[in-house]
A and B are shown apart, each in its own frame.
Chain A
Amino acid sequence: MNVASASSAPLARLRGVRHHHGSTLALDGLDLELHAGQVLALLGPNGAGKSTAIGLLLGLHRAEAGTVELFGQSPQVLAARRRIGVMLQAAAVPDTLKVRELIDLTRSYYPQPRSVADCVALAGLDGLMARRYGQLSGGQQRRVQFALAVCGRPALLFLDEPTTGLDIDARQTLWRAVRELGAQGCAVLLTTHYLEEAEALADRVAVLDRGRLVAEGTVAQIRARVARRRIRCTSALPAARVQAWPGVQAVQREGGHLEIVAESAEPIVRRLLAEDATLAELEVQRAGLADAFLALTRDAARQEAA
């Protein structure tokens, strides 16, 4: 990523997009831009609107409000989609076709496809070309789907939860391929549940929750925001009093247990020990991704209320 590419027109853009999925509001005024050469990870819990955002950018749905652009055009325009590659979360591929045939067919959609040999090398399909898709293992099928996504030499690659259900080895292989494409200048829009996947691949991260963007920035910036600690102990201190301490973000009492979420653990622990001599069962944990989402969402709600 460089300044020049970031200042030029984005490859994909959502502006003020509202969209319902069934009767639920899936996207509520979402703004998102993806620039050339960027790998952007879209993070969020289930139902955050990630797949809806992707579906709109791919032209599978039309936004109820706001604008959706792909290479400055509507995603419904075939010429715009000829510059993208797609790997969908729930992608079905005909079971009875052979890998070679699937790649042959998908390559025919693109003006300047990658050579078959390149596809095989990039996706790791050695020895699979003559096999029927339905006879492959789940991991192998994912690799074929990846090959179908990259075979058109796309300028922008959509990967909707590409490693869900993959084992660690297969995940690493796919990450390597995505990095290789990124190095060649291919922009990537990735959705994922896994924070480590975003860390491994993305140079920007956007966190969605209930159809809104709650955080966006580089991986380091997001990580700084979610680098929280969870402190548990048995203590007689009232939760309301601890809540007022600087650096404390949330306090909850469960019976005799006090649970505190804080930016950093040390000052809080020091004060806890100082104020409550009977404190016991002290435990400090790094907050998980779920906590990060909750924290970011809570921040967003608080800002809204303010």
Chain B
Amino acid sequence: MNTIAAVPFSSARAYLLEARYEFLRLLRTPSFSLPCLLFPPVFYLLFGVLLHGRGGAQAAHYLLAGYGVFGVMGVALFGFGVTVAMDREQGMLALKRAQPMPPGAYLTAKMAMALLFAAIVLLLLGALAAGVAGVRLPAWQWLALAGACLLGVPPLSALGLWLGTLVGGRGAPALINLVYLPMAFLSGLWVPLKMLPPFLQAAAPAWPAYHLAQIAQKTVGVDAGQPAWLHAGVLAAVTAVFFVLARRRLAR
């Protein structure tokens, strides 16, 4: 029997591997990875580029920001909500909690996975925007737009996490779609808010995605003009509230 010298121990490796395998696990799950990675670019191409092709630079920027937020939202909501509901239902979470997994590694891994998937979606959208839609932005603005979209990962992950604790693995995709698609529409991600009925325009600030979209649109100069700190504050509050709610349900 061969023995290998003990590796000096640090939890860092556990965190790293947990994140890596969470990413691989979902990448190899087509029912998750295909909708999350392909729907936003395909929708962007069909509805954002081909249908609105002649709207000018302003409209192109608005739509790119909107679909970027839409993509990040899908990854965060589904990546957290559906996987947490399934992990709980199938007993995987119990096994991990019994094993000496560092307690923070589970959620950190999911957060890292969501950031990575979100970055891939944003790269695909960026390639379509520059290559097909003819969007031209200076480098700093591309980066600012991507960074703004990625700000949505924590609040939307927390929301997804909470939704995932409410239902079982089978019910989670339906529940999350019920939140995801209406919220995308009502936050003005697909069509400008000005085209919605006035009462829906007035209600838009109630949706977390609206605030994220405002920040993203601000980086390309097409937002409604409220200060960025206000939106960031709302997103921070959303993160805290849903994270606490989710923890309370997970602890039971």
Chain A positions near chain B (C-beta within 8 angstroms): 55, 58-60, 78, 81-82, 84, 86, 88, 90-94, 96-97, 101, 104-106, 108-113, 115, 117-118, 121, 132, 148, 152, 158
Contact, CB under 8 Å: B100 / A78: yes
Contact, CB under 8 Å: A115 / B3: yes
Please pick, from B7, B24, B28, B101, the residue contacting A109 in the complex, using a CB distance under 8 A.
Answer: B101
In the complex, whether B17 has a CB less than 8 A from a CB of chain A is yes
- The chain B residue with its CB closest to the CB of A101 is B21
Please pick, from A84, A88, A96, the residue contacting B29 in the complex, using a CB distance under 8 A.
Answer: A96
Contact, CB under 8 Å: B4 / A108: no
Contact residues of B between 15 and 42, Cβ < 8 Å to A: 16-18, 21, 24-25, 28-29
Instruction: Give bound CA distance, A237 to B6, whole Å.
Output: 72
Interface size band for B = 20 to 34
Interface residues of A, dominant DSSP: loop
In the complex, whether B91 has a CB less than 8 A from a CB of chain A is yes
In the complex, whether B230 has a CB less than 8 A from a CB of chain A is no
Q: A91-B91, A92-B90 are in contact. Are A78 and B102 (CB under 8 A)?
A: yes
Contact, CB under 8 Å: B98 / A90: no
Contact, CB under 8 Å: A109 / B99: yes
- Least distance between B67 CB and chain A CB atoms (Å): 28
**CB neighbours of B1 from chain A (8 A):** 118, 121
A selection of 15 A-B contacts at a CB cut-off of 8 Å is: A58-B97, A60-B98, A86-B95, A86-B99, A88-B95, A92-B90, A104-B17, A105-B17, A108-B17, A109-B102, A110-B100, A111-B6, A111-B9, A115-B4, A117-B2
In the complex, whether B94 has a CB less than 8 A from a CB of chain A is yes
**CB neighbours of A158 from chain B (8 A):** 98
Q: A108-B14, A108-B17, A115-B2 are in contact. Are A90 and B91 (CB under 8 A)?
A: yes
**CB neighbours of B98 from chain A (8 A):** 58-60, 81, 86, 88, 158
Instruction: Give bound CA distance, A97 to B18, whole Å.
Output: 12
- The chain A residue with its CB closest to the CB of B94 is A60
Contact, CB under 8 Å: A78 / B97: no
Instruction: Give bound CA distance, A78 to B98, whole Å.
Output: 10
In order of increasing CB-CB distance, the 3 nearest A-B pairs are A92-B90, A96-B28, A111-B9
